[in-house]
């Protein structure tokens, strides 16, 4: 039983706090597309400089940018966990992440010492400040399956950032790591599964039933999935300590966990209570299908060692996981978060009468979102195809950049509507 109005949402941050992240992110996605278009060799081997720059334009510039901005909005609301000094926190994190990611891309592309120095300082500050501020909030938060999942993802981000900084320092020549290959493996695995996937799972528990009107996730799955994945990742990251058979076993647990999440989500979506067309729903479906495809590609590599050793194998996992899964989920969620916040802040600021402001659905043209979705799917298919037939890389990169710019324009149209009806930033 709750009484009165003293609920946490009143301490929710001003619109500008999440919005600056959400509007910057598509520009990095466009930059990632541009990178592929100008350096198609990014898709030839994962160890080329453009491939590493591409990975981080996506993981830091797009995914982390949206995720940190959305967490600043979401922690106070779903967890009752207010962040200290939200405006200053947003400013430091946003500027640091933006400039730091640009410097990191420059570091990879031009192997420039000054760029590495700037990247290290800026990213360590931005992520460090965010991690400290959110740790305080997460410790106070009311525990739920979502909050427990976000806590595990927090650990994943901290570990990924720590390893990333150590790797960058070793690339710049300031330290030597005892086992660089093991550190890269751990950084990539924990970054993709321990941070990105665990966060998406934790958030899915809330947003899939809420926006897609599905039944809730089965309670036992919601209770255990993230914890099992996190435990497996911890063991896997310390793989050097495992007996030979242990790694294969743990990889199997990780793959099974990914598959369970994807299939459970697709099944819930098939049971939704209202069957209206919805772009975000389609984004989620593409995302879950990509996860299933990624697990299949992984399974094929277990069966055929020649495929496991092929250059295209890790790149296909990357295209499926980052482009097909993570970018799709985040892109789909942006189409809920930005229109909702525009509607909510307008409603709260104007105390508007019903009918005098646009509804959430009117904030972005449905046709424009649908068109952008199709272009995104085309880009993913072209990029995956480019792994088999390289001439597809350039059109794939162009399609990705165009779809990102279209996304930016669609989000900007919601913000323009917000302003046109008298919305203020404060």
Partner 1 sequence: MKDPAGEIVLDARGLEPPEPMERVLQALALLRPGQTIRLLLHREPFPLYPLLAQRGYGHATRRDADGSYVILIHPLATEAG
Residues in the chain: 426
- For partner 1, the binding residue among 109, 169, 182, 213 (CB under 8 A) is 213
Distance between CA 66 and CA 27 in Å, rounded?
Answer: 12
DSSP 269-338: HHT-S-----HHHHHHHHHHHHHHHHHHHHHHHHH-HHHHTSTHHHHHHHIIIIIIIIIHHHHHHHHHHH
Place of tokens 């060799």: 41
**Residue 55 lies near ligand HEM (rule: CB under 6 A):** yes
CB 270 within 8 A of CB 208: no
What is the smallest separation between the CB atom of 300 and partner 1, expressed in angstroms? 39
Min dist. Cβ of residue 76 to partner 1 (A): 10
Exactly one of 235, 292, 340, 371 binds partner 1 (CB under 8 A); that residue is 340
Asked if 343 is part of the footprint of partner 1 (rule: CB under 8 A), the reply reads yes
Nearer to ligand HEM, 51 or 137 (CB): 51
Q: Is 163 in contact with 179 (CB distance < 8 Å)?
A: no
Q: What angle do helix axes 145-171 and 180-189 make, rounded to 10 degrees?
A: 150
**397: Cβ contacts below 8 Å, ≥ 6 apart:** 33, 34, 35, 36, 37, 38, 40, 383
Task: Verify binding: residue 321, partner 1, rule CB under 8 A.
Answer: no
- Name every residue whose Cβ is closer than 8 Å to that of residue 281 and which is 6 or more positions away in sequence: 211, 212, 269, 272, 332
For residues 344 and 358, give the distance between their C-alpha atoms in angstroms, rounded to a whole number. 11
2 binds, among partner 1, ligand HEM, none (CB under 5 to 8 A by kind): partner 1
Question: Which of 191, 332, 395, 396 is the binder for ligand HEM (CB under 6 A)?
Answer: 191
In angstroms, rounded to a whole number, what is the distance separating the alpha carbons of residues 145 and 140? 15
- Candidates 12, 27, 36, 52; binder of ligand HEM (CB under 6 A) is 52
Rounded distance, CA 249 to CA 243, Å? 10
Q: Which CB, 5 or 420, lies closer to partner 1?
A: 5
Instruction: By CB under 6 A, tell whether 39 contacts ligand HEM.
Output: no
Please, what is the minimum distance in Å from the beta carbon of residue 125 to ligand HEM? 11
CB nearer partner 1, residue 20 or residue 345: 345
Could you say which of ligand HEM, partner 1, none residue 210 binds, taking C-beta under 5 to 8 angstroms by partner kind? Answer: partner 1
| Residue 275 within binding range of partner 1, rule CB under 8 A | no
How far apart (Å, rounded) are the C-alpha atoms in residues 261 and 308?
A: 24
Q: Which residues contact 37 (CB under 8 A, 6 or more apart)?
A: 393, 394, 397, 398, 401
Count of residues that interact with partner 1, criterion CB under 8 A: 30
Write the binding mask 1 to 20 for partner 1: x where contact by CB under 8 A, - elsewhere.
xxxxx-xxxx-x--------
User: Site residues for ligand HEM, window 133-162 (CB under 6 A)?
Assistant: 157, 160-161
167 binds ligand HEM (CB under 6 A): yes
Position 306 contacts partner 1 (CB under 8 A):
no
When asked if residue 280 is in the footprint of ligand HEM (CB under 6 A), the reply is: no
Tell whether residue 353 is a contact of partner 1 (CB under 8 A).
yes
Q: Of the candidates 28, 29, 42, 56, which one interacts with ligand HEM according to CB under 6 A?
A: 56
Contact yes or no for 57/32 (Cβ under 8 A): yes
DSSP state of 387: T
Radius of gyration of the chain (CA): 21
Concatenated DSSP letters of 96-126: HHHHHHHHHHHHHHH--HHHHHHHHHHHHHH
Least distance from C-beta 332 to partner 1, angstroms? Answer: 14
Residue 419 to residue 426: CA distance in whole angstroms: 12
276 to 305, contacts with partner 1 by CB under 8 A? 276
Residue 59 found at the interface with ligand HEM (CB under 6 A): yes
Its sign, for the CA torsion 189, 116, 404, 312, is negative
Between 85 and 104, how does the x/- string for binding to ligand HEM read (CB under 6 A)? Answer: -------------------x
Binding status of residue 164 toward ligand HEM by CB under 6 A: yes
Per-residue x/- track, 330-359, ligand HEM (CB under 6 A): ------------------------------
> Interface residues with partner 1 (CB under 8 A)?
1-5, 7-10, 12, 77-78, 209-211, 213, 273-274, 276, 340, 343-344, 347-348, 351, 353-355, 359-360
> Interface residues with ligand HEM (CB under 6 A)?
46, 51-52, 55-56, 59-60, 64, 104, 119-120, 123, 157, 160-161, 164-165, 167-168, 171, 184, 187-188, 191-192, 195-196
């Amino acid at each position: 039983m709750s009484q009165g109005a003293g609920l946490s949402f009143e301490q929710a941050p001003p619109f500008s706090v999440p919005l600056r992240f959400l509007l910057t992110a598509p520009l990095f996605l466009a930059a990632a597309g541009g990178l592929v278009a100008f350096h198609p060799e990014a898709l030839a081997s994962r160890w080329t400089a453009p491939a590493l720059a591409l990975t981080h334009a996506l993981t830091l510039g797009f995914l982390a940018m949206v995720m940190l901005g959305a967490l600043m909005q979401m922690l106070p609301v779903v967890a009752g966990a207010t962040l200290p000094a939200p405006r200053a926190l947003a400013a430091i994190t946003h500027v640091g992440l933006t400039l730091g990611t640009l410097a990191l891309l420059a570091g990879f592309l031009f192997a420039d010492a000054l760029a590495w120095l700037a990247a290290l300082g800026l990213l360590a500050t931005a992520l460090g400040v965010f991690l400290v501020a959110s740790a305080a909030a997460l410790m106070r938060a009311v525990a739920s399956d979502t909050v427990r999942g976000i806590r595990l993802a927090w650990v994943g981000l901290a570990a990924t950032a720590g390893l990333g900084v150590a790797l960058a320092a070793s690339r710049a020549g300031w330290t030597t790591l005892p086992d660089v290959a093991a550190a890269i493996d751990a950084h990539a695995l924990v970054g993709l599964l321990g941070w990105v996937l665990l966060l998406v799972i934790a958030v899915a528990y809330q947003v899939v039933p809420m926006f897609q009107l599905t039944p809730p996730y089965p309670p036992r799955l919601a209770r255990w999935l993230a914890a099992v994945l996190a435990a497996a990742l911890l063991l896997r990251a310390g793989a050097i300590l495992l007996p030979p058979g242990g790694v294969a076993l743990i990889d199997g647990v990780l793959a099974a966990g990914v598959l369970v999440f994807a299939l459970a989500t697709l099944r819930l979506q098939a049971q939704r209570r209202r069957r209206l067309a919805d772009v975000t729903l389609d984004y989620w479906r593409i995302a879950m299908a990509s996860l299933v495809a990624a697990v299949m590609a992984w399974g094929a590599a277990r069966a055929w060692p020649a495929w496991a050793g092929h250059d295209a194998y890790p790149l296909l996992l990357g295209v499926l996981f980052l482009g097909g899964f993570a970018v799709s989920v985040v892109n789909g969620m942006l189409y809920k978060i930005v229109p909702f916040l525009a509607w909510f802040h307008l409603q709260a600021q104007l105390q508007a009468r019903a009918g005098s402001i646009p509804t959430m659905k009117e904030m972005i043209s449905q046709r424009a979102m649908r068109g952008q979705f199709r272009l995104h799917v085309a880009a993913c298919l072209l990029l995956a195809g480019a792994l088999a037939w390289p001439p597809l890389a350039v059109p794939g990169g162009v399609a990705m950049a165009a779809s990102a710019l279209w996304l930016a324009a669609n989000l900007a149209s919601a913000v323009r509507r917000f302003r046109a009806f008298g919305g203020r930033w404060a």
